[in-house]
Structure 1
Amino acid sequence: MIKLTSKYAAALMLLGAVTGVGIATGTTTAHAKTKTPTTAQIAAARAKMAANEKKVDKAIDKIDISNLSNLNSIYTYGPSATQTVQPYNMYQTYKLKSPLTLTNEFRHKTVTLPKGSVVTGLNDGNGNLQNIDNTTLSIKNQEKVFKKLGNWHYSFAMSKNNSGATQKYMRTTAFSKKSVASFPRLSVKTTKAQYDNAASSLPFISVTADSQLAYHSKGGIYKATRYAKIKKFKRTHATVTYYLNKRLSGVTTKKAKVGKSTQYKLSFKLGHVFQSHDSYNGDAGAYNITVNNGKQPFFLPLNDVAESYISAINGNEYVSTNDKKVSTVFVEGLY
């Protein structure tokens, strides 16, 4: 049997779903005799897939780029017939009213962030922080955390009742807008991005609480490899533009004269939505959104609410009536 590429196989599976014909992709259907599709049928299936991808991109492109992190919101737990969107996600930002003691997964080391520190983390719904994203802390706080706790993406509040999420960080900065982190982790988009969980190993960038654009050369190493100060920024509905104090290797920048100083300009804009797949058998996997930066694109894996919205548009997967309604209201509320 000829080994099919994932794109070719996906086209055939779609064709089978549309026509009701069992397609030879390594399995057979019980309800129909397997047939080899014609060139015209394959072309038609591919054209339909391309049209659906364009519909998805057109819908997602309407989102305010400052709301990008909200695409990682998840459903509440419970029966799918009554699911709603969780009111908090892991990329919301807070300013600590009092010192907060953190620990790692083993809970045998601690470090304390001072009052006034700006953090990104998950609210438990009662005003307490469950975890902290170490890669978005100020560089000063990052150095303290990594020195004490070691190489961890997330640290955890030592006390469950810590009141760390009672004061939202409401300033509009290069780091955050409306109490949501702008770019907490964008992975470099390479050919590996077509596979599930690629973000865990690929280099990534993040914007820190003290407005540094940090580059991490390995997905599993959370201390910044290098960083540059964001001297000024500009937000529009479609684009976020940063001006760095120095060139930052790994991102696409353009030299710009700002007053008497030379700065390095870069812009981020939402791009193509793509679906990754299992590297073992090619099964369809998670959706991801491309974030364009000149010649160096990045990407962000999406979560289940956004995935429901996308699947409702392209028809690739079943979406319940409740999830279709809830995800549509939520995602289109980010326009």
Structure 2
Amino acid sequence: MIRLTCKYAAPLMLLGAVTGVEIAMGTPTAHASVTPIVTPAQTVKNQKKLDTLFDKIDISKAFGVTDNYGSGTAATVKPDTYNHRQTYKLTKATALTNEFRHKTVILPKGSVVTGYADGNGNLTSLDNTTLSIKNQKKVFSRLGNWKYSFLMIKANGAAVKSYTRSTAFSYNSLASVPALPIKNNKAPHNGDERTRPFITVTADSQLVYHSKGTVYKETRYAKIKSFKRSHSTLTYYLSKPVSGVTTKKTKAGKTYRYKMTLKLGHIYQNDMIDSDPGEFNLSVKNGKQTFFLAFNDIAEDYVNSVTGYEPVTARYSKVAADYIQGLY
């Protein structure tokens, strides 16, 4: 069985499947292969190599492993400049709607949002789960249970002003923890990250735990009273413990805080499906709890170019290496 590895919404038509061939159709490449290139004897060596390379990533930039290529041909494609983690501050009141466009809700001027932009200063969609709790309540009560909202007006100017403050929520105008799913003992199949319980940090610095990957309304959350960033560790001090998250009670002056730490862990593969190699993930440790980041095509190409699991052209190998090493 030939597996077509591609994470883009637009379907690709495979006209002739040849091992290792790249298909340029105005979208980023897809790689087709019959079996993994490496033998089982090589996997331990590759595991150490990958862990060494990905351990160098700054944890505040770690969500970059989930980024994708932008549109283009095989000769011109580059990483997408505008991704779902970009943060913006609205310069005017902005109307949102859901997929059905039957109802609207207005976010006030000054609201901080994350979402996809069109490159011309306009947002096309925004992530409801990273809004402030106040804005989330407004959106979910009006629009319903949706991960993303859509902008009512195409020329909305909502992506004109980047949010540049360094907070528990944002770092270098990128959301630090937009959606971090929980890993269980069974390696997930592709796409499982969308169904797992997950945590996120909101624009008003709340740590939210979502008990189901398909439930986006805020339920269990705590205020992040302070935080620390180092290259390898992200530490949050919460106002109260949050069920589902590993915390340690610590004294802070005359009161107590609940310390939560995130550290990068091992690279691991998803389940093998029909003898095809599964995709890769990066584990994120929180004490006894483990979360994970599912690699998208850039990180997948980097892994494949390093290990030889699947063939990658020289151009894509360089683009992927430059991008991932830029997260160091």
**If the TM-score is normalised by the length of the shorter chain, which range does it land in?**
0.7 to 0.9
Q: Deviations over 1:63-95 (max 9, x none)?
A: 111112222221122222322111111111111
1:112 to 106, 109, 112: 106
Tell me if the contact between 2:299 and 2:320 (Cα under 8 Å) persists in the aligned partners. yes
Query: CA separation of 1:193/1:206 partners in 2, compared to 1, >3 Å: closer, same or farther?
Result: farther
Secondary structure (helix, strand or coil) at the match of 2:75 reads: helix
Instruction: State the match for 2:269 in structure 1.
Output: 275
Q: If you compute each CA radius of gyration, which structure gives the higher value, 1 or 2?
A: 1
Secondary structure (helix, strand or coil) at the match of 2:222 reads: strand
Secondary structure (helix, strand or coil) at the match of 1:324 reads: helix
Tell me if the contact between 1:131 and 1:155 (Cα under 8 Å) persists in the aligned partners. yes
Over aligned residue pairs, what C-alpha RMSD do you find? 1.8
Instruction: State the match for 1:284 in structure 2.
Output: 277
2:325 to 317, 320, 332: 332
Instruction: State the match for 2:129 in structure 1.
Output: 135
Distance 2:197 2:124 in 1: 26
Counterpart residue identity of residue 295, structure 2: L
1:192, distance to aligned residue in structure 2 (A): 4.2
Tell me if the contact between 2:72 and 2:78 (Cα under 8 Å) persists in the aligned partners. no
1:284, distance to aligned residue in structure 2 (A): 2.4
Distance 2:271 2:299 in 1: 17
Distance 1:206 1:139 in 2: 12
Distance 1:62 1:276 in 2: 22
- Is 1:187 the equivalent of 2:181? yes
Tell me if the contact between 1:53 and 1:314 (Cα under 8 Å) persists in the aligned partners. no
1:285, distance to aligned residue in structure 2 (A): 3.2
Which has more helix, going by share of residues?
1
Q: Give 5+ residue unaligned stretches, structure 1.
A: 1-27, 30-43
Instruction: State the match for 1:18 in structure 2.
Output: none
TM-score by length of 1: 0.84
Tell me if the contact between 1:175 and 1:207 (Cα under 8 Å) persists in the aligned partners. yes
Instruction: State the match for 2:214 in structure 1.
Output: 220
Distance 1:238 1:286 in 2: 24
Counterpart residue identity of residue 324, structure 1: S
Q: Deviations over 1:86-125 (max 9, x none)?
A: 1111111111111111111111111110000000101111
Distance 1:278 1:48 in 2: 17
TM-score by length of 2: 0.86
Q: Deviations over 1:284-312 (max 9, x none)?
A: 23321111100000012121111111111
- Is 1:82 the equivalent of 2:76? yes
1:278, distance to aligned residue in structure 2 (A): 6.0
Tell me if the contact between 2:223 and 2:238 (Cα under 8 Å) persists in the aligned partners. yes
Distance 2:124 2:303 in 1: 29
Secondary structure (helix, strand or coil) at the match of 1:285 reads: coil
Instruction: State the match for 2:294 in structure 1.
Output: 301
Instruction: State the match for 2:303 in structure 1.
Output: 310
1:282, distance to aligned residue in structure 2 (A): 5.1
Q: Give 5+ residue unaligned stretches, structure 2.
A: 1-33
Counterpart residue identity of residue 69, structure 1: F
Tell me if the contact between 1:83 and 1:322 (Cα under 8 Å) persists in the aligned partners. no
Distance 1:290 1:172 in 2: 24
Instruction: State the match for 1:258 in structure 2.
Output: 252
Query: CA separation of 1:182/1:78 partners in 2, compared to 1, >3 Å: closer, same or farther?
Result: same
Distance 1:87 1:286 in 2: 23
Q: Percent identity?
A: 55
Instruction: State the match for 1:38 in structure 2.
Output: none
Q: Return the structure number with greater relative CO, CA threshold 8 A, min gap 6.
A: 2
Tell me if the contact between 1:276 and 1:286 (Cα under 8 Å) persists in the aligned partners. yes
Counterpart residue identity of residue 118, structure 1: V
Tell me if the contact between 1:252 and 1:294 (Cα under 8 Å) persists in the aligned partners. yes
Distance 1:305 1:124 in 2: 20
